[in-house]
Amino acid sequence: INPVEDRGDRLLDGSKDDVDDSVLGSIREAIRLDKERVRAELDDVASAIDADIRNRMAKLKRKNEQFRQRLADLRKAATETTTAEETTEESTTATAKTTTGTTKTSSVTAKTSKTSTETTPTTTQQVTSKLPTPTGPGELGASVVVNKQLLDQRQLERFERGWKENAFNEYASELISVQRRLQDYRPKDCRNRKYSIEQLPNTSVIMCMHNEAWSVLLRSIHSVLDRAPPALLHEIILVDDFSNRPHLGRPLEDYLAKLGRVRLLRNKKREGLIRSRLVGASVATGQTLTFLDSHIECTNGWLEPLLQRIRDDRRNVAVPYIDVINEDNFGFFHVANERMVVGGFRWNTMSFSWQSMPQRIRQNLSSLAQPVPTPTMAGGLFSIDRSYFDELGRYDEGMEIWGAENLEISFRIWMCGGRIEILPCSIIGHVFRTRSPYSWGEGSGDVLKRNTIRMAEVWMDNFKHIYYRQFNNLLGDYGDVSDRLLSENGSTAIRFAGTWSTWGNSTRIGVIQSFRLVGGDAWCLDGIRRQGGAEVSLQRCHNKGGNQVWTLSQHGELIRETDCLHYNGRALTLVACQGYGGYGKYQSWRYEDTGDRQIYHPATGQCLTLRHTAAMSQPGLSVESCRERDQSQAWRLPEVLDLSDSSPDLSTDGPARAVLEPLMPNVVE
């Protein structure tokens, strides 16, 4: 044992043994040196931490200053834009000139045209000052969230006005470049495909608009111009449906004059989407026509796949894969191709609806890039051979404004030997709004019904009676369709049933009647829409259709017009249909013709029940535990719609009436 270490240990342990002064001094010196070394190391660490904190604080300060400067620039730009707009508005005299008779259009140039809204000349600098900077928010499709708390009074007024006039966040759109970059959302197989541009037909893009927001309209046009091969883009025809906003007058003409290849037509009176598209098609000279809305964004490589399918077969109608541009923040949201849906329609309202892709089609797809056949299309975005469009009879000019034209042309394409396909390699974003910002005046509420009846009269054979029963066969005035009937009869069209039977069907449409009689009367499921919302109840069967006509869709929805029978485990209600997944499970029902004939609710494992006691004046509805051989839970539903019958008798008084109105039960309470 080292005597020094031994004595030192004993000293530190509190030993009272004598220790030489020299040894004690050595120990004290060693301890002092150790303390100084540790203190120096701690000082170094503290200095390093302090320096790091100072650096981080400096960076945060610089970022904060940059943010404040950016915010000040945005506020200044917004103020200048507002001032320019107000100056233009104050110096503008809007005189909407309405003419009568047939639709007239005028080709407009930047120097000589006159519009339905005359404005004072605006310089190029003024027009450009309204545009967002080329780089900024929203790049690569990112969302732009506007914090209203940071807006001053004038900006807040612009924010609110944008929502009111457009039904989307125009303020957020104005912060985004009209030439913003987007990601490449295409499947990998699509990105690797090569197209022979010289062998593809060119196209005339027809874009119709009415009082569209400035930044949204320009972004739509730029996305077409910037992302289409010049050799394939023959022209853009912009049809202005009698807009009256100042920025769509001379400022728009000046801006378009700088772009080239954009032809502006102006309707002399309000015509609506259908006739405006016909106006554009009548002057188009491209080999194909591509119809687009005025609130879209085309992505890279959007045009070539559409034109390739038409080159493969001129009767192919090519529809892009439609993604969502959020109305609130203008974020570009891509829906994965694995979740692709196709177009369909609801029998009860004859309205377009998105539906899950049939399994038999999905399992035949070799890749995510393969075209997908679709029964119908939404109608806003598609490409078609121009001569084939003429052969089909174009749009029905007797239809008003918009609505049902997409189903009408979808039926016509399939029934006249054509084919509609959704192309995953062509992706276009679309701003979907929860309400329409446009006003059509009195009488516009019946437009959709009128258009749909015109379609049904021409293309649906006797199946039209299924739709007519929704409103007790009160057709009203739907105009003359004799010319459309002649067109259909003179074509090689196959029958309606022959077309739709290929897609499969398990739909039931008609009256839902309880087996149990109460007071000697038969009781039917009844749905009615009142001011406070839709109501579902049991009412005496009146055999007049209307409120007692229901659709049991192939997805198990019990639908009355646009509402679905909804049960969340507590209340049985009639609410807007939710679709598939999520809350849609509360609107899914199952029915079998055999056995107890129960209407079963899979989400809760219970059954729809007629409930009645002696104290009740009339029976009510409930959802209860399923019971065997209980007439209160037994229901008669119409047979599955037979689409193999080319000419079924589905009129109110026809012999096939049982298809829609099951026989009255023999059971009496």
Note the pLDDT tens digit of each residue in 170-196: 999 999 999 999 999 999 999 999 999
Residue 163 and residue 82 share a domain: no
The answer to whether the CB of 182 falls within 8 A of the CB of 323 is no
544 lies in some domain? yes
Is the residue at 441 inside a domain?
no
DSSP labels for 345-364?
EETTTTEEEEEEPPHHHHTT
Which domain does 627 fall in, by range? Answer: 508-659
- As a whole number of angstroms, the distance between CA 277 and CA 275 comes to 5
- Report how far residue 248's alpha carbon sits from residue 166's, in angstroms, rounded to the nearest whole number: 14
Q: Say which CATH number the domain at 528 has.
A: 2.80.10.50
The type of residue at 408 is E
Question: Per the structure block, which two tokens stand in for 135?
Answer: 């780089």
Token pair recorded at residue 112: 């000589």
| pTM to 2 decimal places | 0.68
Task: Give CA–CA dist 47/55, Å, rounded.
Answer: 12
Q: Tell me if residue 303 falls in helix, strand or coil.
A: helix
Select the more confidently predicted residue: 453 or 658.
453
Placement of tokens 């749009």 in the chain? 395
In Å, what is the CA distance from 480 to each residue of 399, 457, 483?
Answer: 10, 10, 8
Please tell me whether residues 34 and 169 are part of one structural domain. Answer: no
Residue 331 lies in a domain: yes
Q: For 63-120, how does the pLDDT look when each residue is reduced to its tens digit (9 = 90+)?
A: 777 777 777 766 666 555 444 444 444 433 333 333 333 333 333 333 333 333 333 3
- C-alpha–C-alpha distance, residues 517 and 505, integer Å: 31
Residues 609-624, mean pLDDT to the nearest whole number:
93
594 pLDDT tier (thresholds 50, 70, 90):
confident
Angle at 270 between CA 267 and CA 272, to 5 degrees: 100
Q: Which of 392, 415, 431 is the last residue of a domain?
A: 431
Q: How confident is the model at residue 593 (pLDDT cuts 50, 70, 90)?
A: confident
Q: How far apart are CA 556 and CA 502, in angstroms?
A: 20
- 143-147, 393-397, 632-636: least confidently modelled range: 393-397
How far, in Å, CA of 621 to CA of 568, rounded?
14
Question: Which of these, 312, 263, 320, lies nearest to 290 by C-alpha position?
Answer: 320
User: Rounded CA gap, 109 and 271, in Å?
Assistant: 22
Q: What is the mean pLDDT of residues 298-317?
A: 97
258 within domain boundaries: yes
Question: Domain boundary at 416, 431, 446, which?
Answer: 431
Do 247 and 344 lie in one domain? The reply is yes
Classify residue 107: in a domain, yes or no.
no
Is there a domain that residue 489 lies in?
A: no
DSSP 8-state symbol, 542: -
Longest dimension (CA), the chain: 129
Strand partners, 319: 422
Looking at the fold, whether 172 and 297 belong to one and the same domain comes out as: yes
Residue length, the chain?
Answer: 669
Nearest to 513 by CA among 569, 627, 615, 597: 597
Instruction: Based on the fold, state whether residues 12 and 83 are members of the same structural domain.
Output: yes
Q: What is the pLDDT of residue 101?
A: 37
Q: What is the mean pLDDT of the chain?
A: 80
Task: State the DSSP H helix or E strand holding residue 525, giving kind and residue range, or none if neither.
Answer: strand 523-530
Q: Does residue 117 fall inside a structural domain? A: no
Residue 134's pLDDT is: 46
Rounded Cα–Cα distance for residues 216 and 168 (Å) = 10
What is the CB-side half-sphere exposure of residue 634 using CA atoms within 13 A?
Answer: 16
**pLDDT for 122:** 32
Q: Is there a single domain that holds both residue 82 and residue 191?
A: no
Looking at the fold, whether 410 and 540 belong to one and the same domain comes out as no
Instruction: For residue 442, give both structure tokens.
Output: 């009195």
Instruction: Kindly report, residue by residue over 7-52, the tens digit of the pLDDT.
Output: 444 444 444 445 567 777 778 878 888 888 888 888 888 888 888 8
Could you tell me if 84 and 151 lie in one domain?
A: no
Q: What is the pLDDT of residue 44?
A: 80
User: Average pLDDT in the 523-540 region?
Assistant: 84
Phi, psi of 530 (to 5 degrees): -115, 180
Please report, for the domain that includes residue 398, its CATH number: 3.90.550.10
User: Mind listing the pLDDT tens digit for each residue in 242-296?
Assistant: 999 999 999 999 999 999 899 999 999 999 899 999 999 999 999 999 999 999 9
Rounded to an integer, what distance in angstroms lies between the CA atom of residue 610 and that of residue 599? 11
Q: Beta strand pairing status for 533-540 and 523-530?
A: antiparallel
d(CA 2, CA 528): 104
Q: Could you tell me how many helices (H) and strands (E) the chain has, helices first?
A: 17, 26
Highest mean pLDDT among 77-86, 229-238, 402-411, 487-496: 229-238
pLDDT on residue 96: 35
Residues 386 and 240 placed together within one structural domain of the fold: yes
Q: Within this chain, do residues 385 and 533 fall inside the same structural domain, yes or no?
A: no
**Does the residue 330 lie in any domain?**
yes
Q: Which of 431, 450, 482 is the last residue of a domain?
A: 431
- The pLDDT assigned to 100 comes to 35
Please, which pLDDT band fits residue 625 given cuts at 50, 70 and 90? very high
Q: Lowest mean pLDDT: which of 142-151, 440-449, 643-652? A: 643-652
Instruction: Check pLDDT > 50 for residue 5.
Output: no
- The proportion of the chain whose per-residue pLDDT surpasses 70, expressed as a percent, equals 78
Q: Is residue 494 very low, low, confident or very high in pLDDT (cuts 50, 70, 90)?
A: low
Question: Does an H or E element contain 254, and which?
Answer: helix 250-259
Domain total of the chain: 3
Q: Are strands 262-267 and 351-356 parallel, antiparallel or unpaired?
A: unpaired
Give mean pLDDT, residues 434-456: 77
Q: Measure the CA–CA gap between 559 and 348, rounded to whole angstroms.
A: 8
Structure tokens at 559: 């639908």
pLDDT of residue 130 exceeding 90, the answer is no
323, 307 Cβ separation under 8 angstroms: no
Residue-level pLDDT at 178: 96
**What average pLDDT does the segment 320-343 reach?**
92
Determine the Cα–Cα distance for residues 258 and 602; give it in Å rounded to an integer. 61
